[in-house]
Amino acid sequence: MFLKLTEKDGLWRKIRNHVGTTVEHPVSPATRDIRSRLSDDGVKKAVSVCPYCAVGCSTLVYHRDGRIIDIEGNPDSPVNAGTLCPKGSATFGLHNSPYRWTKVRYRRPYSGEWEDLSLDEALDMIAARLKESRDKNWEEDDEGGKKLCRSQAVSSIGGATIDNEENYLITKLFHSMGFTRITNQARI
């Protein structure tokens, strides 16, 4: 509608012809020059899926120079045929929110604030905590002498919002370490 209004041969031309040329164009020249950037040079398109509810709307992610410039509904999908709800439409904002945290944060015991930490150091520290909690809290057998081969001291929570492949790595690694307290949002 907006584009039509500003087109040379569009509604505005009809209005002008009708009322005469003394009426000022209601949209400024600068705004009239705005064009969708999606067809600009260097803009690429990736096919993705909405990360919110389970309807599974297909999306198109437009990006240039490593930055997302827009996320829209994919018209090819049998599920959403190009449409998106308010959440799906906000997927762009989910990625680009100024409030997003993109650095590792570390909260020391009894501390009142977050500190910086490098990713490498964080992973080393987490691996060490994981090993210690596991090794110190091992259950080899139950009271009846039946094998348990596990540690109940570490729990993994979550999975319904991350990829199938990520869930697969979690269950494979944590079961192999002997953990059983693995759980997520699903009760289906």
Residues 3-42, interacting with another protein (CB under 8 A): none
Sort strands 58-64 and 44-49 into parallel, antiparallel or unpaired.
antiparallel
Is 70 near another protein (CB under 8 A)? no
Residues 93-112 close enough to bind another protein by CB under 8 A:
93-95, 97, 99-112
* One residue of 20, 29, 42, 66 binding another protein per CB under 8 A: 66
129-158 binders of another protein (CB under 8 A)? 129-131, 133, 137-138, 140, 142, 146-150, 152-158
Q: Minimum distance from CB of 139 to another protein (Å)?
A: 9
Q: Is 71 helix (H, G, I), strand (E, B) or coil?
A: strand
Burial 61-90 (b: 16+ CB within 10 A, else e): bbeeeeeebebbbbeebeebeeebeeebbe
Q: Rounded to whole angstroms, what are the CA distances from 78 to 58, 62, 166?
A: 9, 21, 26
What is the Cα 94 distance to its own chain's centre?
A: 6
Size of the site for another protein (CB under 8 A): 113
Residue among 34 and 149 whose Cβ is closer to another protein: 149
Residue 87: strand, helix, or coil: helix
- Segment interacting with another protein (CB under 8 A) among 6-14, 15-23, 24-32, 173-181: 173-181
